[in-house]
Structure 1
Amino acid sequence: MKNIICTMFFGMLTYTFFAQELEVGIEFRPRYEFRNGFGTLLDDTQDPTSFVSQRSRLNLNFNYENLTIVLRPQDIRVWGDVATNQSNAHDGLALFEGYAQYRLDNIWKFKVGRQTLSYDNQRILGEVNWAQQGRSHDAFLVSVTPNKKHRLDVGASVSSNAETVERTAYSVNNYKNMQLLWYQYGFKTSTLSVLFLNTGYEFETTNQDLKTQYAQTFGMFYSLKTNKWIGEFSVYGQTGTRNDTTVSAWYGGASLGYLATEHWLFGIGGEYLSGTAMDDTSGTNKSFTPLFGTNHKFNGLMDYFYVGNHANSVGLIDAYAQLKYSKNKLTLTLLPHVFSSAESVLSGSNTMDSYLGTVIDVVATYKLHKFITANLGYSQIFATDTMEVLKGGNANRTQNWAWAMVTVRPEIFSFKK
């Protein structure tokens, strides 16, 4: 893998005589985390942990006439995951993005390869930039932009374990195939978009046959931005079948922010993600899943919901507020969240109170240098007995999370013909 990336990189450098543009950048992003109840409640026998993870990414962008080629190899590791005297024991090198894009004219554009799919507020499809590895898809995408008001994206993807001569079970935790349609219309101070996503997941039946079943996610997203107001509204539904279970779920979200002064922003918002009650006997999965969204930016930064967890559960009601201060190179953000279950939670035969708890997030961002950004964060959760039923652990124990991150993203080479 390393030899392939080096060969492609130096091959692109030798081709710059014919190129219109070549840009080479790097990104280093180490992050320290202290986890004391991150993602789930700890019990009295468990101790908090801490570690440093790091993303090291190379960004290559090559343009020649209407052709664009992007390569973004990266290494993701935790400090100390290999000994200091071992040279090749770590296997964290991967290709985050590697695609070719061709612009036929001012309207039609085609993209094929490993790429991010990021739309609207990234609730359903996002880059997941917080995660060191991010999220990207192997896909073919067609974009149609007849003018500044209209844009239509149509995409598709198919998945296999490897090159084979006969059909074999797809064992990767991923869709077997996917189809995407996204359309956006731009108004003067707002945009309206609609999304349709069809995902097919393969599973093995009781007769050991391979079967692919399809679920559909569809809905709309509206965003508003003026000199003083920032607003978002979205609603999505999910239907289809997954693992021989009928899916019938929906989502609604809204937020509104007001720029009171040049430096102060106040906001409120809420989300509803439908769920399946613990005593539901209908046989229908009513739990909404935000699929490939950047879920870390929603529902509290401690990732108690929908970040690799809380799937097919009782859903969520999230009411939150935002207070942001920005001046010069500094940004401070305070985000309290109040969580409740969308459907009933049972402990034995007893129905629990729907209130799950409150999370308070505090984040500071400072621009140290043109290429360097520093971030600090602290989160505290005040959980209830209902959260303990869902997550386990001890809700009465102090649970918190703290982190510090530095991002260094210089451009190291640029050529323009």
Structure 2
Amino acid sequence: MNQATLPLAALIVAALVPSVAQAETDANPDITPYADIRYRLELVDQDGLPEDATASTLRVKAGVKLGEWNGFSALVEGEAIARLGPEDYNDTVNGRTQFPVVADPADVLLNQAYLRWRPDPAIETTVGRQAVNLDNQRWIGSVGWRQNDQTLDAARLTVKPVKGLTADYFYAWRVNRIFGPDSPQGIWRDNDIHGLRVGYDIANIGTLSAYGYWLDIPSAPAASSKTVGVRMAGAHSVGEGGKLLYTAEYARQSDHAANPADFELDYLLLEPGFSASGFTVKAGLERLEGDGTTALQTPLATLHAFNGWADKFLATPANGLRDLYADAAYKFGEGSALKGLTLRVAYHDFDSTRGDISYGSEWNALVAYPLTKQISLLAKFASYDAKELATDTRKAWFQVEAKF
């Protein structure tokens, strides 16, 4: 375990032990252990590097949930990531730069540890190390795809004053990033991060939300920003079993705190779609503006979920990014011998928002199958065809995951 996490872990355990003992005597609350074991083989062939990457890694995440007692509950979760086989990849801390990056360094750490208080069904507060996922995770997410989660040391308050209305505020002082504590950029400390989201569920239409994120990150001043936006996402039934899907979002980002740049940049997302009989089809336009020097960035997002699985746009280019995409999926349903099997394919065309630069295009494909209620299989592929940005890159993942 990383040494910096030991005092926090010890403090939480010391605080919880007498509470649990008392709770068992008074109310017999639920004490639920759990585990999530995930093995993954990741292969990367990237033009411009002398070697191909082969990363064979095992992630074991395990913890205990303490059920509610007098409004209080808690969770403590550890995470261990191990390399199985040769170190034929750049994990971002091993110095093997002749290989492509697979950002899954080996480590043992405290992943989550928080105390939650719910004095009323409409009020919930959470304090400690926690995964925070808001909306589609475009701005705030836990990066669940990588073997190490991104978590926040934060205090969070959620209130639901009336039916359908949710207000969510959090303050974070530390960001535990996917690169792990051995990386110079693995932990962002001494932050002043505020987030506020208000959402309202509109019957038969969807969820309308407004948000603001103020990021003051001394460890990465260029990532400091103020973002204010609005989002609408929903579905509307049409015909027999069909649904019209729609998402629209707009945000404005500007410099904040120690950011040395001076900018005001726009974000736009339009994503119509349709689903019926197991099929889901979507088309989308996502636009992250750039002015040639600075671009709109989303440093706390689950970035792998956006702009292609080859991860060529984890940082928005200075001339911005326009992602025009199509996404189609089919899930086998009841009555099929392949119930639960999901097939998915997507295509992205990438351009700049300034200067008419054609970056490239990408194909993605996925096959996922729930072998049992606890065990799932996944195969995933990405192929990026470069034009005026980066180099041709091909990736493949083969994964098995068990949850207990």
TM-score range, shorter chain: 0.7 to 0.9
What amino acid is aligned across from residue 375 of structure 1 in structure 2? L
Q: Name the TM-score, length of structure 2 as normaliser.
A: 0.80
Distance 1:59 1:160 in 2: 20
Shift of 1:173: 3.7
CA contact (8 A) 1:330 1:365 kept: yes
Structure 2, gaps ≥5 residues long: 88-104, 177-184, 238-242, 333-338
For 2:371, what is the secondary structure of its paired residue?
A: strand
Q: 1:369 aligns with which of 369, 372, 383?
A: 372
Distance 1:331 1:139 in 2: 36
What amino acid is aligned across from residue 36 of structure 1 in structure 2? D
Residue correspondence of structure 1 range 6-17 to structure 2 within 5 A: 8=13, 11=17, 16-17=24-25
Q: Which moved more, 1:232-241 or 1:325-334?
A: 232-241
CA contact (8 A) 1:240 1:246 kept: yes
Alignment correspondent of 1:304: 312
1:194-218: per-residue Cα shift (whole Å, max 9, x none)?
11111113279xxxxxx99963111
Structure 1, gaps ≥5 residues long: 83-89, 162-169, 205-210, 345-352, 411-417
Does residue 178 of the first structure (1) align with residue 183 of the second (2)?
no
Alignment correspondent of 1:25: 34
When residues 158 and 81 of structure 1 are mapped into structure 2, their CA distance, relative to the original with a 3 A threshold, is farther
For 1:109, what is the secondary structure of its paired residue?
A: strand
Does residue 46 of the first structure (1) align with residue 62 of the second (2)?
no
Distance 1:158 1:74 in 2: 21
Alignment correspondent of 2:226: 216
What amino acid is aligned across from residue 322 of structure 1 in structure 2? D
CA contact (8 A) 2:380 2:396 kept: yes
Residue correspondence of structure 1 range 133-282 to structure 2 within 5 A: 133-159=148-174, 172-173=187-188, 176-189=191-204, 190-202=206-218, 215-227=225-237, 228-241=243-256, 242-259=258-275, 261-277=276-292
Distance 1:142 1:199 in 2: 18
CA contact (8 A) 2:153 2:175 kept: no
Select the structure with the greater relative contact order (CA < 8 A; seq sep ≥ 6). Answer: 1
Task: Give the count of matched residue pairs.
Answer: 356
Alignment correspondent of 1:401: 395
Distance 1:57 1:220 in 2: 35
What amino acid is aligned across from residue 31 of structure 1 in structure 2? R
Alignment correspondent of 1:334: 345
Alignment correspondent of 1:347: none
Distance 1:5 1:36 in 2: 43
For 2:262, what is the secondary structure of its paired residue?
A: strand
Q: What is the aligned-residue identity percentage? A: 21
Alignment correspondent of 2:102: none
For 2:218, what is the secondary structure of its paired residue?
A: strand
CA contact (8 A) 1:176 1:212 kept: no
Distance 2:186 2:223 in 1: 15
Q: 2:72 aligns with which of 48, 67, 70?
A: 67
